[in-house]
């Protein structure tokens, strides 16, 4: 404080509370000392992390599970660049992550050490402006007049970067207080008309399919829309990033479409009877082994999409491709239009292709299924990059309550380790399952120390096959696989113990069940080192030989 006036730091921290950020993930640094002091004396709780990249991923996980922005605070220079992958990931997937960094004093821009210099040796936010777009990058001087715009960007599902020079963090905020905050604009007229046109087509189609994409996971009105779609008799599929939004046994649910998805969804989309496909918050992926893109290319009146502003353009013909300023407003408008439908009005039937039960044929699938069966519906999963991704997609049985999270489009290694910890601060009474692998643990495994520090209820299920499975499967020869993918097998239980986390090793169904019972009794984090044979990396082992005694 200066003469009793609220400082820039005080007001910035107060703004976090207004955004719904109850926690800020941070790694202390000298050039954010004034902000940290304001944070320590506020109602917003600082969470100390092991490295800056994890701070960004934790804010990502927090945002996904709470529906409010996730905030990270780190130093400038190299420290801020460590968070850049998390912000790029958030931009691609439409997650509202707020990164705040310190900056050197405004009059200290010349002849300064590298750590206090620009990313190119002087000082600039050019890196973030290039990565996120200039409209999402802000520098707060002696006023926070841009805070309403920051809130609006976050509300639209965009990550935001804010830097605050060290010498003004403790200075009074001179933002005029007599101005009303910037109004949140509704849907533009042209966008509303486009949504109405899509809804009208959806109501009259006989065999429509609605595919929920990854950015639907961050829309507050998603549950009501999914319920309305099912009530209307629509058939619904999800991408892998939206898997947790529909109950796995819901009427009309076709399963996952795309990577490691269900044959039922693929066959339904290829069925000539299908007369409309609506993609919400995503786009058809690039992995096309079934010819669905050929069909979409030949029928330009079949596909429609509503997605976030700045989403990648489709290379397929559509009869409507809408990217409004506010994606959530578009989803709300679609819900209103579908709700106008009379109960007696015919709608797209849910009959036709029915999803069949999947029988796990992969060892990791058995482990995930056994884990979910043990803990039941209370479990929320965060899934990392690696071979276990496909196993998790096939094995998970969703409750439809936002219980499955994945960085679907970027898949940075180690994301789930940090994101699951961040999510635990958003729902402290929920057990979080982190499905990860030994490769990811090599990258961000040290972050489980943060889970130990705060006694976060996270169960880390580590697929430990002694190497990089995805690399092994792409290798042309055994020698190539050994040279590129093999790693020394780490005892992750011993590693976890050094960081204050309890753990157990599992190598068959019986030992996994014992480990799960120990995890149930643990009050904080727990790690299960799932010792998988190296042959699982090439898919050369029948899981029944280990887990079913066949």
CATH fold of 189-339:
Rossmann fold (3.40.50)
CA 97 to chain centre: 11
Rounded to whole angstroms, how far apart are CA atoms 170 and 175?
Answer: 14
Give residue 482's pLDDT. 59
Q: For the ranges 167-181, 220-234, 260-274, 281-295, which has the lowest average pLDDT?
A: 167-181
3 state DSSP class of 29: coil
Give residue 390's pLDDT. 84
Residue 173 host element (H or E): none
What is the tens place of the pLDDT at every residue in 80-109? 889 999 999 999 888 999 999 987 665 555
| Best mean pLDDT range from 39-43, 77-81, 180-184, 382-386 | 382-386
For residues 461 and 131, the model is more confident at: 461
All CATH 3.40.50.1220 domain ranges in the chain, comma separated:
189-339
The model's confidence at residue 480, banded by pLDDT at 50, 70 and 90, is low
Rounded to whole angstroms, how far apart are CA atoms 356 and 255?
Answer: 9
What is the tens place of the pLDDT at every residue in 310-358? 777 788 888 899 888 888 889 999 999 888 765 444 444 444 444 455 5
Structure tokens at 373: 């069966």
DSSP assignment of 461-507: EEEE-SB-HHHHHH-SSHHHHHHHHB-PPP-HHHHHHHTT-EEEEE-
Give residue 46's pLDDT. 92
Whether the per-residue pLDDT at 120 is higher than 50: the answer is no
Give residue 346's pLDDT. 43
Structure tokens at 187: 């849907």
Give residue 313's pLDDT. 78
The model's confidence at residue 519, banded by pLDDT at 50, 70 and 90, is very high
What is the tens place of the pLDDT at every residue in 256-311? 887 666 678 888 888 889 999 999 998 886 555 566 778 888 888 899 999 987 77
Whether the per-residue pLDDT at 518 is higher than 90: the answer is yes
Give residue 524's pLDDT. 94
**Residues in a beta bridge with 160:** 98
Q: For the ranges 243-252, 318-327, 449-458, 537-546, which has the lowest average pLDDT?
A: 537-546
Whether the per-residue pLDDT at 405 is higher than 70: the answer is yes
Q: Spelled out in words, what is the top-level CATH class assigned to the domain 363-548?
A: alpha beta
Q: What is the mean pLDDT of residues 443-467?
A: 93
For residues 325 and 537, the model is more confident at: 325
Q: What is the mean pLDDT of residues 34-42?
A: 87
Q: What is the mean pLDDT of residues 127-139?
A: 88
Q: What is the mean pLDDT of residues 64-92?
A: 90
Question: Closest by alpha carbon to 82, among 119, 43, 42?
Answer: 119
Whether the per-residue pLDDT at 67 is higher than 50: the answer is yes
All CATH 3.40.50.970 domain ranges in the chain, comma separated:
8-168, 363-548
pTM above 0.75, yes or no: yes
Burial of 507-542, coded b for 16+ CB within 10 Å and e otherwise, reads eebeebeebbeebeebebbbbbbbbbebebbeeebe
For the chain, give percent helix, strand, coil, nearest 5.
45, 15, 40
Q: Spelled out in words, what is the top-level CATH class assigned to the domain 8-168?
A: alpha beta
Q: What is the mean pLDDT of residues 371-375?
A: 95
Give residue 539's pLDDT. 55
Q: What is the mean pLDDT of residues 233-247?
A: 89
Whether the per-residue pLDDT at 549 is higher than 80: the answer is no
Whether the per-residue pLDDT at 427 is higher than 80: the answer is yes
Give residue 218's pLDDT. 77
What is the tens place of the pLDDT at every residue in 194-216? 999 999 999 889 999 999 988 88
């Amino acid at each position: 404080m200066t003469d009793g006036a609220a400082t820039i730091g005080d007001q910035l921290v107060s703004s976090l509370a207004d955004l719904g950020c109850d926690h800020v993930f941070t790694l202390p640094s000298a050039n954010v000392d004034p902000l940290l002091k304001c944070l320590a004396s506020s109602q917003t709780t600082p969470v100390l992390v092991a490295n800056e990249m994890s701070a960004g991923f934790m804010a990502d996980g927090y945002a996904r599970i709470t529906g409010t922005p996730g905030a990270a605070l780190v130093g400038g220079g190299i420290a801020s660049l460590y968070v850049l992958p998390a912000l790029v990931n958030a931009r691609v997937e439409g997650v509202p992550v707020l990164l705040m960094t310190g900056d050197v004093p405004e009059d200290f821009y010349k002849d300064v050490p590298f750590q206090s210099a620009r990313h190119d040796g002087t000082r600039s936010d050019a890196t973030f402006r290039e990565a996120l777009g200039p409209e999402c990058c802000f520098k707060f001087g002696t006023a926070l007049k841009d805070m309403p715009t920051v809130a609006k960007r976050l509300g639209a599902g965009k990550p935001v970067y804010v830097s605050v020079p060290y010498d003004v963090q403790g200075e009074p905020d001179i933002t005029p207080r007599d101005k009303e905050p910037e109004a949140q604009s509704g849907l533009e007229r042209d966008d509303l008309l486009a949504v109405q046109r899509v809804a009208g087509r959806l109501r009259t189609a006989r065999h429509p399919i609605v595919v929920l994409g990854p950015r639907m996971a961050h829309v507050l009105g998603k549950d009501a829309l999914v319920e309305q779609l099912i009530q209307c008799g629509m058939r619904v599929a999800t991408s892998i990033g939206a898997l947790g939004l529909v109950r796995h046994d819901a009427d009309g649910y076709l399963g996952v479409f795309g990577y490691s998805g269900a044959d039922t969804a693929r066959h339904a989309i290829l069925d000539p009877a299908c007369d409309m496909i609506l993609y919400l918050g995503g786009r058809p992926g690039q992995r096309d082994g079934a010819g669905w893109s050929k069909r979409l290319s030949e029928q330009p009146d079949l596909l429609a999409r509503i997605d976030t502003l700045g989403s990648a353009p489709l290379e397929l013909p559509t009869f409507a491709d809408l990217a409004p300023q506010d994606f959530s407003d578009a989803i709300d408008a679609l819900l209103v239009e579908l709700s106008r439908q009379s109960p007696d009005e015919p709608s797209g039937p849910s009959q036709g292709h029915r999803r069949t039960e999947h029988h796990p044929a992969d060892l990791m699938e058995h482990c995930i299924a056994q884990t979910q069966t043990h803990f039941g519906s209370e479990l929320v999963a965060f899934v990392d990059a690696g071979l276990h991704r496909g196993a998790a997609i096939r094995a998970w049985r969703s409750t439809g309550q936002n219980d499955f999270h994945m960085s679907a489009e970027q898949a940075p290694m180690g994301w789930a380790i940090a994101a699951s910890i961040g999510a635990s601060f958003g729902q402290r009474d929920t057990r979080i399952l982190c499905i990860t692998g030994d490769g990811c643990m090599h990258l961000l495994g040290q972050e489980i120390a943060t889970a130990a520090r705060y006694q976060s209820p996270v169960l880390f299920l580590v697929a430990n096959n002694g190497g990089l499975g995805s690399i092994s499967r792409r290798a042309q020869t055994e020698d190539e696989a050994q040279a590129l993918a093999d790693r020394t097998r780490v005892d992750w239980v011993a590693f976890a113990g050094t960081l204050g986390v309890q753990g157990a090793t599992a190598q068959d169904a019986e030992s996994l069940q014992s480990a799960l019972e120990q995890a149930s009794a643990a009050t904080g984090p727990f790690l299960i080192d799932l010792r998988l044979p190296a042959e699982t990396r090439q898919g050369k082992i029948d899981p029944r030989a280990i887990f079913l005694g066949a």
